[in-house]
């Protein structure tokens, strides 16, 4: 089969409906024997009136289509080219469906023997990719794709991707190929035929440099090579500057020395250093020098897993190369972040034809041949995948094999320093007893992460899913597997218990919706009693352990939920839909966390935003009564290129006020008509976002722009990728875009914010506002402002529909880095004038 021709097809269409929308461009690349042997491309003129979105997405203009043939004119030529080929596309269902429909309209019956989907192949054989859009994959693999969403270039990139994937599959050891073949029979497309031909036509490939565990293979553990001679902060810094070619900055060296001194003297230190000073390099140099001279280890904590990985993969690698050292740093997270080998063995043993489970098994088989760490973050498990794996991990039991976690812990114990993220900070301190110093990067995020770690969330969908994994006697799930090994007399009792447990989930969340905690407790206690009967019925019977582990975990979940409600340590995330309500159980407090960190002699906190109203008092949640030094490294020019405009004609914030909504829409329209550029607008809630979106549908100005609207179901990553790809668009989003956004546009970057980002108050009182709510709002505000002005040559504009920033006591906390002349208040005409000046 590998010797046959693969027809790699890509279409650009006027819409997504194959029955009424037309193909506007078609690209076909023929691949044979791992090479491109023929190409074909044409524009098509069946439809020439294109929407602004299609024009933006494809860069195809009406003029390109006018002299092109209609599909019927070239249909037989295309059919002849495809004849006998394996039809391949990136998301094959879309391209094949459209093309088959177009052929049908021309009286041509097209039904290839084999279909291949490179999305499916990439999901399995490129397991560490987070996003499977063609342009993302092409960038990751270094494939040529200069103009995404053009059929000719997309088809060629897909062909190159196919060649890469076939080569990778062919290189796998034969035993893994056979496992993948048996699993792939359950998939929708013809991957099993490809795997069969590879196995049949290739020589037997024995596993090399692999360990065998259960029924699968995995890469052997890498060796940590540490060679760290004594080195001073200045020596390390000068080596880095000479190697990297970056400019020598006294502020950066000063920061590294201040951190080193705090580590050396076991001092607490709080540093606010402006974005761009190079904090990461500074604390890495301090930590490495400190370990080389004193042999003492530092635990570095940052705000997100992605930053944790970047520190080790990017910054530290350059530092090692510059200094000619093997520094030996390690990454460490909580145990559940590493693959549980027994859980995977259990997953493999399940006779399950669910596509998502099958693809997960195949993905893990491939990944285990590549990963050094077993860190599940490498494979970005999505919702269903995460649920299936987590369920298997629970079913495998608490005594499962955590080899990868043990490896990570062993590396951390031997390393010069260890990097974690805030969420797992306390867990790492528990395992690494010899750590006396902590460096907290992005420290403004620490409190929120610690609070989240002390919170367990229970949702209707998650609890239903968990019970649903047991199934009924007629479903191929846990209960059926158990019954196959035991007397069926008990099945009616077990099914009745499961029915009552399902009903009680409805009752628990119904009581939550009604705000009745006593009823919630009652239904939880009834469920706990039912689970006890279930466990007692199956305990000690044949093949009971997996089902027992699953239900025992559910019993513990219910116990935690009951305890939190009984003690009042809970909060409700309400919704009109009962099934979307969430119950948060709060376990522990900041005082208990400080007690667990009693062995820490020095904590250095760093961030671009830590000082609020000339004070760091809000950090007492961590330091308590302990003394800490403070250092502020300012850059007076930080926001010199960023202007803040506050409309003076905006009504008081009111989601129900039509005038308020209309004014927001008017300012958006002014910006679009004056600049003809993209714009991001952030809202504090979906209600206001939806109403603004409705208004835009009736205004002509918006017809030439693509409106990207966030919903509760869409991800920020997908919307941001679309926003950065398009030139004329408006993104309407929520506070989920407050951090981590990178606006890619030429000229001035503009962002509109409907309200200062104050959190929903957790406590009442003046003191709580200034110690908790205000700092969190200031941190988010500065993060937003920093995202629209990343480099000195860039200009930024922030339009804020919230006059409180100008007339409340806390205004200086928000505006302290902005020159007074950059704070502008005016009406619509003033805004137009400002835009023209920019």
Nearest to 194 by CA among 297, 121, 94, 92: 121
pLDDT above 70: residue 810? yes
Ranges 280-284, 353-357, 455-459: which has the least confidence: 353-357
User: What's residue 721's pLDDT?
Assistant: 78
pLDDT digits (tens, 9 = 90+) for 195-218: 999 999 888 888 888 999 989 999
pLDDT digits (tens, 9 = 90+) for 156-185: 999 999 999 999 999 999 999 999 999 999
Estimate the crossing angle of helix 383-396 against helix 355-367, to 10 degrees: 70
Average of pLDDT values for 584-589? Answer: 84
User: What's residue 767's pLDDT?
Assistant: 56
pLDDT above 80: residue 226? no
- Work out the number of other CB atoms within 10 angstroms of the CB of residue 147: 12
pLDDT digits (tens, 9 = 90+) for 279-294: 999 999 999 999 999 9
**689-696 LR contacts (CB < 8 Å, sep 24+):** 689/732, 689/733, 689/734, 691/655, 691/661, 692/661, 692/664, 692/665, 692/668, 692/732, 693/732, 695/661, 695/662, 695/665, 696/665, 696/668, 696/730
CB 505 within 8 A of CB 460: yes
What is the DSSP code (8-state) at residue 322?
H
User: What's residue 147's pLDDT?
Assistant: 67
Nearest to 419 by CA among 496, 494, 309: 309
Domain ranges of the chain: 6-206, 209-338+402-454+600-635, 462-586, 642-837
CATH superfamily label, 6-206? Ribonuclease H-like superfamily/Ribonuclease H (3.30.420.10)
pLDDT band at 791 (very low <50, low <70, confident <90, very high): low
CA 595 to chain centre: 32
CB under 8 Å to 276, separation ≥6 — which residues?
635, 638
pLDDT above 90: residue 270? yes
Percent of the chain whose predicted confidence (pLDDT) is above 90: 43
Measured at the CA of 97, the angle between CA 94 and CA 103, to 5 degrees, comes to 140
pLDDT above 90: residue 718? no
pLDDT above 80: residue 638? no
CB 612 within 8 A of CB 774: yes
**Rounded to an integer, what distance in angstroms lies between the CA atom of residue 497 and that of residue 527?**
9
pLDDT digits (tens, 9 = 90+) for 475-492: 777 888 888 877 766 788
CB 661 within 8 A of CB 633: no
Average of pLDDT values for 510-525? Answer: 94
Main-chain phi, psi angles of 258, to 5 degrees: -65, -40
**Rounded to an integer, what distance in angstroms lies between the CA atom of residue 265 and that of residue 485?**
64
CB 23 within 8 A of CB 12: yes
**Rounded to an integer, what distance in angstroms lies between the CA atom of residue 618 and that of residue 605?**
13
The CATH topology of domain 209-338+402-454+600-635 is Rossmann fold (3.40.50)
Comparison of pLDDT for 436 and 713, the residue scoring more: 436
**Rounded to an integer, what distance in angstroms lies between the CA atom of residue 711 and that of residue 575?**
15
Residue the block writes with tokens 């976690």: 405
Tokens of 7: 């027809």
pLDDT band at 315 (very low <50, low <70, confident <90, very high): confident
DSSP 178-225: HHHHHHHTTSSSSHHHHHHHHHHHS------SEEEETTEEEEPPPPP-
Does the pTM exceed 0.75?
Answer: yes
Average of pLDDT values for 71-94? Answer: 94
- 1.20.1440, 2.60.40, 1.10.1060, 1.10.287: which CATH number matches 462-586? 1.20.1440
CB 180 within 8 A of CB 365: yes
CB 549 within 8 A of CB 397: yes
CA–CA distances in Å: residue 578 to residues 280, 498, 500, 815: 45, 21, 18, 41
How many helices and strands, by DSSP H and E, does the chain display?
A: 35, 24
Give the chain's mean pLDDT.
87
Task: State whether CATH 3.40.50.300 applies to domain 642-837.
Answer: yes
**34-38 LR contacts (CB < 8 Å, sep 24+):** 34/2, 34/163, 34/166, 34/167, 35/163, 36/156, 36/159, 36/160, 36/163, 37/5, 38/81
Whether 642-837 and 209-338+402-454+600-635 are alike in CATH topology: the answer is yes
**Rounded to an integer, what distance in angstroms lies between the CA atom of residue 750 and that of residue 668?**
11
DSSP 421-479: EGGGHHHHHHH-TT--EEEESSGGGHHHHHHHHTEEEEEHHHHHHHHHTT--TTSSSHH
CB under 8 Å to 222, separation ≥6 — which residues?
372
User: What's residue 617's pLDDT?
Assistant: 85
For the purposes of burial, counting CB atoms within 10 Å of the CB of 140, is it exposed (0-12), middle (13-18) or buried (19 or more)? Answer: middle
User: What's residue 431's pLDDT?
Assistant: 87
Three-state secondary structure readout of 504-550: HHHHHHHHHHCCCHHHHHHHHHHHHHHHHHHHHHHCCCCCCHHHHHH
Instruction: Provide the residue count of the chain.
Output: 838
pLDDT above 70: residue 744? no
pLDDT band at 314 (very low <50, low <70, confident <90, very high): confident
């Amino acid at each position: 089969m590998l010797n046959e021709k693969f027809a790699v097809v890509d279409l650009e269409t006027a819409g997504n409906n194959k029955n009424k929308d037309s193909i506007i461009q078609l690209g076909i690349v023929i691949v044979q024997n791992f090479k491109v042997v023929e190409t074909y491309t044409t524009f098509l003129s069946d439809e020439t009136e294109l929407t602004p979105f299609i024009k933006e997405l494809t860069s195809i203009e009406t003029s390109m289509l006018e002299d092109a043939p209609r599909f019927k004119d070239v249909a037989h030529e295309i059919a002849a080219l495809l004849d006998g080929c394996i039809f391949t596309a990136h998301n094959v269902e879309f391209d094949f469906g459209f093309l088959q429909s177009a052929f049908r309209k021309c009286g041509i019956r097209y039904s290839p023997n084999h279909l291949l989907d490179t999305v499916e192949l990439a999901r399995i054989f490129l397991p560490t990719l987070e996003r499977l859009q063609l342009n993302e994959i092409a960038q990751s693999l270094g494939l040529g794709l200069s103009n995404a969403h053009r059929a000719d270039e997309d088809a060629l990139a897909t062909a190159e991707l196919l060649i890469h994937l076939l080569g990778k599959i062919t290189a796998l050891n034969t035993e893994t190929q056979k496992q993948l073949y048996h699993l792939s029979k359950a998939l929708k497309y013809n991957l099993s035929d490809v795997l069969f031909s590879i196995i049949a036509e290739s020589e037997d490939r024995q596993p090399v440099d692999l360990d065998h565990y259960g029924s699968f293979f995995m890469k052997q553990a890498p060796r940590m090579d540490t060679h760290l001679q004594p080195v001073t902060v200045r020596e390390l810094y000068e080596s880095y500057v000479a190697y990297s070619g970056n400019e020598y900055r006294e502020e950066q060296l000063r920061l590294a020395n201040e951190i080193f001194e705090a580590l050396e003297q076991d001092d607490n230190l709080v540093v606010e250093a402006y974005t761009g000073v190079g904090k990461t390099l500074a604390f890495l140099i301090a930590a490495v020098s400190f370990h080389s001279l004193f042999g003492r280890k530092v635990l570095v904590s940052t705000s997100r897993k992605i930053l944790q990985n970047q520190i080790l993969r990017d910054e530290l690698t350059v530092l090692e190369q510059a200094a000619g050292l093997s520094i030996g740093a390690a990454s460490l997270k909580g145990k559940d972040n590493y693959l549980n080998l027994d859980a995977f063995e259990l997953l493999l043993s399940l006779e399950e034809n669910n596509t998502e489970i099958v693809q997960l098994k195949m993905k893990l088989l491939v990944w285990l041949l590549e990963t050094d760490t077993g860190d599940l973050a490498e494979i970005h498990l999505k919702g269903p995948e995460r649920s299936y794996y987590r369920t298997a991990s629970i079913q495998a039991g608490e005594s499962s094999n955590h080899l990868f976690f043990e490896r990570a812990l062993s590396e951390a114990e031997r390393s010069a320093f260890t990097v974690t993220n805030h969420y797992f900070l306390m867990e790492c301190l528990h395992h690494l007893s010899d750590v006396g110093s902590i460096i907290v990067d992005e420290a403004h995020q620490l409190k929120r992460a610690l609070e989240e770690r002390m919170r367990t969330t229970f949702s209707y969908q998650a609890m239903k899913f968990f019970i649903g994994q047991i199934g009924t006697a007629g479903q191929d799930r846990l209960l059926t597997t158990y019954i196959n090994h035991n007397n069926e007399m008990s099945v009616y009792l077990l099914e009745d218990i499961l029915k009552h447990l399902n009903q009680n989930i409805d009752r628990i969340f119904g009581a939550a919706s009604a705000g009745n905690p006593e009823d919630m407790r009652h239904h939880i206690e009834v469920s706990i009693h039912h689970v006890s009967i279930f466990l007692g019925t199956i305990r000690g019977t044949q093949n009971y352990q997996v089902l027992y582990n699953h239900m025992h975990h559910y019993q513990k979940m219910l116990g935690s939920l009951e305890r939190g409600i009984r003690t009042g340590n809970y909060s409700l995330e309400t919704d009109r839909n009962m099934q979307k309500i969430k119950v948060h159980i709060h376990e522990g407090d900041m005082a208990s966390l400080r007690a667990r960190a009693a062995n820490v002699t020095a904590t250095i906190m760093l961030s671009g935003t830590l000082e609020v109203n000339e004070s760091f008092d809000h950090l007492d949640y961590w330091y308590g009564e302990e003394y800490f030094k403070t250092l502020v490294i300012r850059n007076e020019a930080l926001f010199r290129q960023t202007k803040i405009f506050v409309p003076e004609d905006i009504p008081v914030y009111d989601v129900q006020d039509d005038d308020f909504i209309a004014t927001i829409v008017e300012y958006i329209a002014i910006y679009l008509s004056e600049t003809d550029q993209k714009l991001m607008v952030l809202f504090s809630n979906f209600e206001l976002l939806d109403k603004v979106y409705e208004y835009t549908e009736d205004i002509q100005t918006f017809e030439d722009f693509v409106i990207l609207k966030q919903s509760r179901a869409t991800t920020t990553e997908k919307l941001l990728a679309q926003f950065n790809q398009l030139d004329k668009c408006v993104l309407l989003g929520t506070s989920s875009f407050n951090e981590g956004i990178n606006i890619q546009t030429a000229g001035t970057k503009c962002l509109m914010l409907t309200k200062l980002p104050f959190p929903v108050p957790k406590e009442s009182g003046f003191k709580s506002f200034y110690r908790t709510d205000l700092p969190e709002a200031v941190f988010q505000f500065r993060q937003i402002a920093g995202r629209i002005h990343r480099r000195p040559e860039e200009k930024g504009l922030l339009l804020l529909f919230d006059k409180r920033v100008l007339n409340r006591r806390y205004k200086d906390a928000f505006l302290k880095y902005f020159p007074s002349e950059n704070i502008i208040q005016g009406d619509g005409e003033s805004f137009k004038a400002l835009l023209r000046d920019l």
